[in-house]
Structure 1
Amino acid sequence: MTFYILMVTLPVFVLDNLHGSKQSIGLVTTLFVMAAVMIRPLTGRWLDEVNRKALMVGSLLLFAVCSLLYLFIQGYTALLALRFVHGIAFGIAATATSVIVLDVIPERRKGEGIGYFTLFMSLAMVMGPFIGLTVADHAGFRMLFITISAFAVIACIFGIWTPVPSHKPRPQTLGNWNIQRYFELKALPVSLSGFVLAFAYASLSTFISVYAKSIGLGDVASYFFIVLAALVLISRPFTGRLFDRRGAHVLVYPGILVFMAGILWLSRASSAPEFLATAGLIGLGYGAILPSLQTLAIQAAPGHRRALATSTFYVLFDFGFGLGSYVLGFVASHTAYSTMYFTAGMMVSLALVLYYCLHHRAQRTSRETAGPEKSQPSARIAGEKDTADPTAAARTQEETAASSS
């Protein structure tokens, strides 16, 4: 909740209260995400080497302290420093909770438990922007920062209450400076498509509130995320079944095209119905693409490096999000928000090219090389059941969604 509230309200705070520029809006988001990106690979290593409960609670405490400090921010430089430290706390906490949740859930109820976890993350995606924009508009930013502090403290309390099973540190066979200790290289081809997707998505989280005000639709800005998240939630059951039965291509290609169409239409939207309709298209495309790419990144890696593959995917995703916030902010400051959204929409086409060239074509080539007898189990994760089985594939996708949250 704290993350989603700040993502959509800080741009307005920077413009109205700190008198920043359009480009400075993007830097506030970029610095936060870059800090999270830098700390994620280290956190994955720490989770194997230190006490997981202590790491989670410590990061949540730091996150709560940072949330309280927004009440005392008077200048742009101080805000940037706070965003960097807050991003570090977020990166550790988000990675730790996504790993610990899989340890906490009993094996026989794994699917049910992960379903609850992802449901609450989706609710935060729906409620966060709506609450943030509503409180900022009607009660001001001081009350907004009190609100996020309350959510952060509650998160910390829940983290303390969470019973974390004991974990035996795993010995490392790779050297400290070996890149494979922090990244799964086999997940990179698919992750690059996720990078481009996040680059374009940054234009929504960072600039949608100020864009809505610029075209006279500030009153409906908070409903944009409700429509977007609702379509993500509605599409989730159908996309899971399609992935199991037809594979990723039937979701990724249409999903990218729908996502691109939504952002391009958003650049030309001039009325509330149009504005909200674009949110529906974007949510439908986003809901199809993201879990598919996540699952493919996991399937590309051996079973014992599945968590590292998820981490690799989200390092690139977060990096794309942070870079997109800054670059698209630069575009907006030198042109207009409508031009920025048109640019973001056109960038999505690059995800289509990368997916085909780096994953689809390479997959087809490897199957042709292997021959018909060996190509059948190509979707198998090493050391695990064949994900062509719908139950196994569904379990993989649910666990991936939990890790991403």
Structure 2
Amino acid sequence: MDKPRLWTRDFISIAITNFLVFTAFFYLLVTLPIYAIQKLHGDESEAGLITTVFLIASILTRLFAGKWFEKAEKHVVFISSLLVLFTASILYFIPQSLTGLLILRFFHGIGFGMATTSTGAIVADLIPESRKGEGMGYYGLTLNLAMAIGPFLGLTVMQQTGTNVMFIINVFCALFALVAGLLVKLPKKASMPEKVIERKTNMKFGGYLENSAIPVSLVSAFFGMIYSGIISFVSIYAKEQSLVEAGGYFFVVYAVVLLISRPFTGKWYDLFGANIIIYPAILCFGVGTFLLSISNTSLLFLTSAAFIGVGWGTMFPSFQTIAIQVAPPKKKTLATATFLTIYDFGFGIGSFIFGIAAAKFNHGTLYFYCSFLIIIGIGIYYLLHGRKPSHSIVKS
């Protein structure tokens, strides 16, 4: 019997849309802090707030996105989110102050929260049930590619051109994402508004979160706080260390190592369980952060990127997999939303805290202390999940 088709026009279009949305996200994530400091004369705490405000808007939007799916078709919410992203991208030419930029970032974050929630819901409808794992694996690669291309493109453009070109490219990313999104057509059954099954429960805040996924989500949020300081400020740190060219290749090395290691770490996770793969990954993440803190050559700087790529590139999908596996079969989608919401909260808070701390300490010192926080995180993981036997995971 032939397998149902995976690589349909709709699946390819939604994958391209997701890639462009996240490319623009990472593109601005590494360039806007530099823009805020150099062009708008802000300090590093304000630069960190640029990311925090964006993610707060995204988190709040994601919490209520499920309700919007109940009242409107997924495709309507999806296209609306891409229109918000496109509009926000055009408006980046206007703000001449940090206050104006922060307001725009909040508006942009609303679109991002809508888009990432709706793309995740739509791609689940488009992938045949018998090829879910394969399809989601390919779909997840779009995020990995965006993680490499976005920062590299952003830093290269800032170094060789200027902010106007930087914002023009951002507009084109949003425009092409909208065009790709318009090509997506959902099956009729997937386009219908979802029924409200438990209205009383969903009216409570607890209805927005899956309790079983909260512990490992808190672990991911803790490490996400540290990771946010790396990804948001590594370009500024590279400039401080006179490693500007290496700074542009940091994310390329990171992503290449991540893509090479992902097939192996994924198989080891399935064969030996989460703990066997996560503890070494945390150590790699800690070693990479420590090497980053003492980087004074391009070789050391890029070596740190390789360790961080293996470490974080293994930790994050493993934590997300745990969050899904521990949830009851009917709560897998809610568990995913819970994981991403709590993680985004940690990432956003971490970026702000790191920005404040960077105003008093140099980045190398902060990365040095962060490497020890990562080691402490081993104990946090053990207490919240690592001590649980593998048979405690709920199988779908």
Q: Decide whether the 8 Å contact of 2:262 with 2:314 is kept in 1.
A: yes
Work out which of the residue numbers 106, 109, 112 in structure 2 matches 1:87. Answer: 109
Indicate the residue corresponding to 1:47 in structure 2.
69
Q: Amino acid of the residue matched to residue 122 of structure 1?
A: N
Indicate the residue corresponding to 1:173 in structure 2.
198
CA RMSD, 1 decimal: 1.5
Indicate the residue corresponding to 1:305 in structure 2.
331
Indicate the residue corresponding to 1:394 in structure 2.
none
Indicate the residue corresponding to 2:33 in structure 1.
11
Query: How far off is 1:23 after superposition?
Result: 1.1
Q: Amino acid of the residue matched to residue 171 of structure 1?
A: V
2:168 is the alignment partner of 1:142: no
Indicate the residue corresponding to 1:281 in structure 2.
307
Indicate the residue corresponding to 1:379 in structure 2.
393
Work out which of the residue numbers 22, 32, 37 in structure 1 matches 2:54. Answer: 32
Query: How far off is 1:107 after superposition?
Result: 2.9
Please give the alpha-carbon distance, in whole angstroms, between the structure 1 residues aligned to 2:312 and 2:354. 19
Structure 1-normalised TM-score? 0.88
Q: Amino acid of the residue matched to residue 60 of structure 2?
A: M
Indicate the residue corresponding to 2:237 in structure 1.
211
Work out which of the residue numbers 326, 345, 353 in structure 1 matches 2:371. Answer: 345
Measured against aligned partners, the alpha-carbon deviations of 1:316-361 in whole angstroms (never above 9, x if no partner) come to: 1101110010101111101111122123222223431121112123
Query: How far off is 1:40 after superposition?
Result: 1.0
Q: Decide whether the 8 Å contact of 2:326 with 2:392 is kept in 1.
A: no
Indicate the residue corresponding to 2:8 in structure 1.
none
Q: Against the structure 1 CA distance between its residues 202 and 104, is the aligned structure 2 distance closer, same or farther, given a 3 Å change threshold?
A: same
Q: Decide whether the 8 Å contact of 1:196 with 1:347 is kept in 2.
A: no
Work out which of the residue numbers 50, 64, 69 in structure 1 matches 2:91. Answer: 69
Indicate the residue corresponding to 1:243 in structure 2.
269
Aligned length: 370
Q: Decide whether the 8 Å contact of 1:23 with 1:330 is kept in 2.
A: yes
Measured against aligned partners, the alpha-carbon deviations of 1:26-64 in whole angstroms (never above 9, x if no partner) come to: 011111111111111111332244210000100110011
Query: How far off is 1:377 after superposition?
Result: 5.0
Indicate the residue corresponding to 1:161 in structure 2.
183
Indicate the residue corresponding to 1:369 in structure 2.
none
Indicate the residue corresponding to 2:127 in structure 1.
105
Q: Amino acid of the residue matched to residue 29 of structure 2?
A: M
Q: Decide whether the 8 Å contact of 1:202 with 1:325 is kept in 2.
A: yes
Q: Decide whether the 8 Å contact of 1:294 with 1:313 is kept in 2.
A: yes
Q: Amino acid of the residue matched to residue 89 of structure 1?
A: G
> Per the alignment, in what secondary structure is the counterpart of residue 270 of structure 1?
coil
Q: Amino acid of the residue matched to residue 115 of structure 2?
A: A
Q: Decide whether the 8 Å contact of 1:45 with 1:182 is kept in 2.
A: no
Structure 2-normalised TM-score? 0.90
Q: Amino acid of the residue matched to residue 290 of structure 1?
A: F
Please give the alpha-carbon distance, in whole angstroms, between the structure 2 residues aligned to 1:101 and 1:16. 40
Q: Decide whether the 8 Å contact of 1:104 with 1:163 is kept in 2.
A: no
2:316 is the alignment partner of 1:290: yes
Query: How far off is 1:174 after superposition?
Result: 4.1
Query: How far off is 1:204 after superposition?
Result: 1.7
Please give the alpha-carbon distance, in whole angstroms, between the structure 1 residues aligned to 2:264 and 2:135. 20
Please give the alpha-carbon distance, in whole angstroms, between the structure 1 residues aligned to 2:132 and 2:331. 19
After TM superposition, the structure 1 = structure 2 runs for residues 327-366 of structure 1, keeping only pairs within 5 Å, are: 327-361=353-387, 363-364=388-389
Q: Decide whether the 8 Å contact of 2:325 with 2:393 is kept in 1.
A: yes
Query: How far off is 1:122 after superposition?
Result: 1.6
Indicate the residue corresponding to 2:80 in structure 1.
58
Please give the alpha-carbon distance, in whole angstroms, between the structure 2 residues aligned to 1:293 and 1:116. 18
> Per the alignment, in what secondary structure is the counterpart of residue 84 of structure 2?
helix
4+ residue stretches of structure 1 with deviation over 4 A?
none
Please give the alpha-carbon distance, in whole angstroms, between the structure 2 residues aligned to 1:236 and 1:61. 33
Unaligned runs of at least 5 residues, structure 2: 1-22
Please give the alpha-carbon distance, in whole angstroms, between the structure 1 residues aligned to 2:24 and 2:193. 32
> Per the alignment, in what secondary structure is the counterpart of residue 71 of structure 1?
coil
Q: Against the structure 1 CA distance between its residues 169 and 206, is the aligned structure 2 distance closer, same or farther, given a 3 Å change threshold?
A: same
Q: Against the structure 1 CA distance between its residues 238 and 292, is the aligned structure 2 distance closer, same or farther, given a 3 Å change threshold?
A: same
Indicate the residue corresponding to 2:224 in structure 1.
198
> Per the alignment, in what secondary structure is the counterpart of residue 269 of structure 1?
coil
Q: Decide whether the 8 Å contact of 1:34 with 1:322 is kept in 2.
A: yes
Indicate the residue corresponding to 1:188 in structure 2.
214
Q: Amino acid of the residue matched to residue 35 of structure 1?
A: A
Q: Decide whether the 8 Å contact of 1:193 with 1:352 is kept in 2.
A: no
Please give the alpha-carbon distance, in whole angstroms, between the structure 2 residues aligned to 1:291 and 1:118. 10
Query: How far off is 1:104 after superposition?
Result: 1.4
Q: Amino acid of the residue matched to residue 76 of structure 1?
A: L
Please give the alpha-carbon distance, in whole angstroms, between the structure 1 residues aligned to 2:370 and 2:70. 38
Q: Amino acid of the residue matched to residue 92 of structure 1?
A: M
Deviates more, 1:274-283 or 1:132-141: 132-141
Q: Amino acid of the residue matched to residue 173 of structure 1?
A: E
Measured against aligned partners, the alpha-carbon deviations of 1:178-231 in whole angstroms (never above 9, x if no partner) come to: 233100111111111100111011012210111100111112111000011111
Please give the alpha-carbon distance, in whole angstroms, between the structure 2 residues aligned to 1:269 and 1:134. 21
Indicate the residue corresponding to 1:265 in structure 2.
291
Please give the alpha-carbon distance, in whole angstroms, between the structure 2 residues aligned to 1:243 and 1:91. 29
Q: Against the structure 1 CA distance between its residues 242 and 48, is the aligned structure 2 distance closer, same or farther, given a 3 Å change threshold?
A: farther
Q: Amino acid of the residue matched to residue 40 of structure 2?
A: L
